[in-house]
Structure 1
Amino acid sequence: MITHDSPYFAQVRLLVSVLPSVAKEPCFALKGGTAINLFVRNMPRLSVDIDLAFLPIGDRESALREIGAALGRITEALTRQGYRVDPGKRQDENVNGLLVTDGAATIKIEVSPVLRGTVYPEATRRIVDRAEAEFGFAEVPVVSFADLYAGKLVAALDRQHPRDLFDVKLLLADEGISDDLFRAFLVYLISGDDSIARLLNPARKPLEDLYERQFVGMTTEPATLDELKQAREDLIALLHRRLGESEKNFLLSFKRGEPQWNLLGVEHAETLPAVRWKLLNISQMSPVKHREVLGNLERVLEDI
């Protein structure tokens, strides 16, 4: 249960106070747990990071410059308001994140320079009522519901963090996985750092330590460890049921480096930078490595 003396509470207060400065940058849209739990659902849990999607899909060097410039403007705005702001993540000497501190708490602002663009259009959302009553008003651009949860499903399969599994648990109990969401999931699946085969057939990671250290105290209603483990199994089983022959053939064609985009049904997917980057990586694999990864995916899909 959430209590006002929780360190998470102070982080969310800081996060909400920072969001107006972030929202002034039109190249960004909010994604991840904060978008889900403060702008879509009525705060079933707290979320303490600002994860941003970079919306333009131009070339990488231009994107890195624009991300750096936007984060620089956010830094200046927050510094004028009295916050301490330090550089966070870097890539090739470019800043892709910030650490913001108000003396009582610290939060991260992070942008992925690879996962640029979205599958569906973003929209401006107002903070949900429960969060506004506790932390104040905010209004920000947020990625689409399908993009939001497509990224969350991939994160739940990859990291298997209790927070991600909690968000998935509520999705499966409420809306389920729509056709639009499933198509977006396939795009995020082929865009991710991990292999498609491992994500579709993940080794189950232990949850106990993260559950105690980084989950307990974040939710308005308790969620047991067993419930989160069951949500993980439910997600994997549902995704397997949704993978028909067309979807399997699309994934195999992508892994071969010759994607059959008509099987996916997302017109502009091939223009997304992360998708193009993965195809480039496939084209540069040695024949031996390519046969290995393709064989791994074929075996996983045959078993589904």
Structure 2
Amino acid sequence: MEPNNPFSRQVRLLVSLLPQVAKQECFALKGGTALNLFVRDMPRLSVDIDLAYLPVQDRDTSLAAIDQALEKIRAAIEKAVPGCAGRAQRLKGTDKRIKLLVTQAEVTVKIEVTPVLRGSVYPSQAREVADRVRSEFGYAKIQLLSFEDLYAGKLCAALDRQHPRDLFDVRILLANEGISPRLKDAFLVYLLGHNRPMVELLAPVMQNIQPAYAAEFAGMALEPVKLEELEEARRQLVGQIRRMLTDEDKHFLLAVKRDDADWSRFALPEAERLPAVQWKLHNLKRMDKTKRRQAILKLERVLFG
């Protein structure tokens, strides 16, 4: 990687912060940094620290614990990493921290916890940085979400926001391991807990990704990847997701939408307790009956049409 690459300084700072983040074992690393700096041998750079809060607790207890853990991270970073200053951002309507912006000189790295997506489908595990990361940016070890959790979240992100970085990560998955049954089951859980309607991820409106490709992706990949290759990965992903869903999967998704699902028949029945899924079920119960019927019909058309 070229030393003057604008992202390289962020990665160097990010890696230096990870040991302090890792001390808070209530968190597991997720997202592009987990995939590209730990699971893969740095096919692209990644400049954010996205964290999952692992304990499954009520919202107030979780927010208080997240707030305290982020404050400990901020204090530890400012003590251990020369020249760093951390600034907290709080969840709207509360006094609880959910994000830190850590700056050293003119370089900033974001550390963020998603307050709704708490817990995990499969157990997390400690991982060391990939060999290329260690040789170029230094050593770190931290708890990661499972491979399946990481990619289940990534698949949903790629279908939702369709950012070139997400499509790049998915392209590597499709070219290598593919979507295993375990990953498919995890994807269904993340789909059910997503803040957007399921139909919008299963039948996404294709967005113009050229501006984001030019402004927010170019220079990140170690080997050049054309815009057209990422667009093709998006087409492949949508098609593969639709093909891999069994009739049983489809009927279960519809049953969740109708609020009459038998979770004991699902491959991961314990996933019903996850806060994101519970929040989605709560919102479905509050949905206007007419709008809900329309949403069920729309989902049915996408799944079986």
1:213 is aligned to: 215
2:185 is aligned to: 183
Is 1:260 equivalent to 2:259 in the alignment?
A: no
Question: What percent of counterpart residues are identical?
Answer: 50
Of residues 194, 207, 226, the one that matches 2:196 is 194
1:3 is aligned to: 2
1:261 is displaced (CA, Å) by 1.7
1:43 is aligned to: 42
1:25 is aligned to: 24
Does the 8 Å contact 1:119/1:184 carry over to 2?
A: yes
Does the 8 Å contact 1:44/1:220 carry over to 2?
A: yes
Pair 140,112 (structure 1): closer, same or farther in 2 beyond 3 Å: same
SS of the residue 2:114 aligns to: strand
Comparing 256-265 and 113-122, the one that deviates more: 256-265
1:88 is aligned to: 89
Q: Which amino acid aligns with 1:14?
A: L
Q: Which amino acid aligns with 1:246?
A: E
1:99 is aligned to: 101
1:173 is aligned to: 175
SS of the residue 1:91 aligns to: coil
1:285 is displaced (CA, Å) by 1.0
State how 1:1-304 maps to structure 2 within 5 Å.
2-81=1-80, 82-93=83-94, 94-303=96-305
**Take 1:153 and 1:132, find their aligned partners in 2: how far apart are those partners?**
27
How many residue pairs get matched?
302
SS of the residue 2:117 aligns to: strand
CA RMSD of aligned residues (A): 0.9
**Take 2:294 and 2:76, find their aligned partners in 1: how far apart are those partners?**
50
**Take 1:4 and 1:69, find their aligned partners in 2: how far apart are those partners?**
36
SS of the residue 1:116 aligns to: coil
Q: Which amino acid aligns with 1:31?
A: K
Runs of at least 5 residues in structure 2 that lack an aligned partner in the other structure: none
Question: What's the CA shift string for 1:129-160, capped at 9, x where partnerless?
Answer: 00000110000000000000000000000010
Give the TM-score taking structure 1 as reference length.
0.97
Does the 8 Å contact 1:253/1:259 carry over to 2?
A: yes
Does the 8 Å contact 1:246/1:263 carry over to 2?
A: no
Does the 8 Å contact 1:89/1:110 carry over to 2?
A: no
Question: What's the CA shift string for 1:213-244, capped at 9, x where partnerless?
Answer: 11110011111000000000000111111011
Q: Which amino acid aligns with 1:84?
A: A
**Take 1:264 and 1:233, find their aligned partners in 2: how far apart are those partners?**
28
Give the TM-score taking structure 2 as reference length.
0.97
Does the 8 Å contact 1:10/1:104 carry over to 2?
A: no
User: Runs in 1 of length 4+ with deviation above 3 angstroms?
Assistant: none
1:295 is displaced (CA, Å) by 1.6
